[in-house]
Copies of this chain bind each other. A is one copy, B any other.
Amino acid sequence: MGKVASLAALAASFTVVAGQTYQRLGACPSLGCVLPPDQSDFLPGQYFDLRVEVHAPVNGSEAYNDGKPDEKFSVTITKEGGKAQDIAKFFDIEEPELEKWDFSWYEDLYAEDADAPSVVNVAAKAYRRLALYEPGTYHVELSYYGDKTTRAEWVVRPLATKKKAKNVILFIGDGMTTNMITAARLIGHKSINGKYQSLLQLDKFPVLGHQMTHSLDTYITDSANSASALYSGHKSTVNAMGVYADSSPDPFDDPKVETIVEILRRVWDSAWGAVSTAQIADATPIALTGHSRSRYQFGALVDQALNSVTNYTWTNQKGPDVWFGGGAEQFYPGKDSYKGEDYYAKFADAGYDISMNKTSLLELGNSSKALGIFCRSNLPVWLDRNVYTDNLADFTNDPTGAEGPALDLPGLKDMTLKAIDILHKRGGDKGFFLMAEGASIDKQMHALDYDRALGDLLELDDTVRATIAHLKAIGELENTLVIVTADHGHGFDVFGGVDTKYLSEQSTNRAKRRAVGTYQNSGLSQYTDAAPGVSYNTGAHFPVNWDPRYTLAQGFGAMPDHRENFRVHKNGPRTPAAEIEGFDEDDNFANPEDNPDGFVVNGTLATDEASGVHSLTDVPVFAMGPCQASFGGVYGNIDIFYKIASCLGLGRPDAKAGGDPGKPSCSKSHE
């Protein structure tokens, strides 16, 4: 009866595993893993790798088979209504070699406290660069340990080969929620007796939807995983992009899925580009081309953007036609560039015009490929570039790698409009795809710096407004699907008004909180009232006063310890929590230099967390142009990919319909 008992124990432990803080492997709750896993969807003809793993936990609650993984596992695939076939035979490829490795993980916080990891031995195979062309349902079955099976149901979605939109522009407000849009409207647009006198551009979109952002294996996502879902139609694991995360040690051998720009280049040879106010190797822009379990492999990911995947046969997306953002440290030679090499030079060698400031950006011609890298790290935010401009001098972010600040900086609007001109020219009749990201909505919400976050949200909205006007001017508005969405949220909202003068002048934490007025005492927005001597000259659709006496009371459900005074941080971005001398490393407290006149809020997050975190909420989708109607209602983030792909007619009925890079093969690892 030993075996039965251990199986029952195993079954019980699985129930616990399902919702744990730590997971053995997210998409693999049983001991056999099929990646892409159960419930995966595919575009007809989309390339993907299949990874199968058999796990043999050595110790811990799941210990099995003395830690020896079954090496004789087998995999079949069945199209619904058809017969099961051996997987290599079905795809007409050679059977790949068996791979073996081990990894360890903590089963829960108690195990971590006791430093008692569980070790798992693995036997695995990878079937590379497959594609399913015929729409329908497929069943994949991994058989192992004699009597065990792991099943995956895959759906190849209906075929849409007709191109309905010539161009697609996908704006991503990173971390942007409906709550933030509401707050940004309030500070950027004047209202009289509850009626707005002007509106956000987003408010004027004809179609609104909501997308669910959950990861494959956790309900809170990060920006790599969520961007990857938007670009590929496949959810993944936190920090992964363009792949399903496997358990192998190499972050570049995980099973890949083909992305929108790879497919678009292969099928229609259209132009494509990315623009971001983040470092260009940051998750949201880099997930268009990146295939790695680790978003932090910045240098290698930049190489993938230029040269496509090189360690396996894969689609060559030919490099972006236009690529604008920050992150110069991945370009000048040094510790943060791939293999220490000069990627400015590599892009130049590949025919790119290079720009490192706003002046030269605006002077770029439209015929050549263009790389614009304007600073190290992320671009300073709109508020520092436009209102508190003295702060720019405090950055050490010259894009050449020299000491000193980058001062001749473009904004999201400058970059986006120039990108459109280049893509329009280079794409010609074949059209283009552009992703433009307002990145610091997220980054500044992490810092609880809602003023900087909302400033960048208004910059995104202003960019969308200018984009629509520009598309109209160049005669492309009717041909272009414009989508504005987000990748995840933060649990932010406004809950009242604050008399900041009163708050500052009270002496205790509790007395300061009396300055917060709610309901009938929430007041009206003073951000739209010009104050004597205050005019930031930042144009319509932005606040005329960022520092009124009566500000918004704003907050988060998830936060580190911090001190709150609800006022703009004039001296630069906020650091709400920090380590304190005399206490442990990674133990964060309210930063005594942040809002010294504020009241203390102790946090709701683990104390090793110094900033806010992402949240669960569905995020909005605004759409206009061809196929706009398909973006109404509620759906998953991966559906955005399928809606765009359908509108672009990217489904392929057979391998010959899109450029085929030849038979798949396996070669050396990327790093």
Contacts and interface: CB of A to CB of B under 8 A. Distances in A.
Contact of A179 (B220, B514, B616): B616
* Stoichiometry, copies per complex: 2
A510 interface: yes
A667 interface: no
B39 A194 contact: yes
A176 to B, nearest CB: 13
A499 B108 contact: yes
Interface residues of A, number: 120
Interface string A529-557: 10100000000000000001110111111
A670 to B, nearest CB: 22
B39 A193 contact: yes
Interface in A551-582: 552-558, 564
Interface string A495-523: 11101001000000110011111111111
A554 to B, nearest CB: 7
A535 to B, nearest CB: 14
A348 interface: no
Nearest to A39: B195
A179 B489 contact: yes
A497 B605 CA distance: 11
Contacts of A553: 558, 604
A19 B182 contact: no
A208 B210 contact: yes
Given A514-B109, A613-B495, A219 B186 contact: yes
Interface in A325-349: none
A518 B614 contact: yes
A205 interface: yes
A469 interface: no
A520 B218 contact: yes
A451 interface: no
Interface stretch (A44-52, A135-143, A631-639): A631-639
Most chain B Cβ neighbours within 10 Å, of A109, A199, A607, A620: A109
Contacts of A617: 177-179, 182, 493-494
Contact of A494 (B221, B587, B615): B615
A558 B493 CA distance: 8
A613 B27 contact: no
Given A19-B529, A499-B21, A614-B518, A491 B218 contact: no
14 contacts: A19-B525, A19-B526, A20-B499, A21-B517, A23-B523, A177-B179, A178-B618, A191-B214, A199-B634, A220-B494, A220-B496, A491-B491, A496-B613, A514-B606
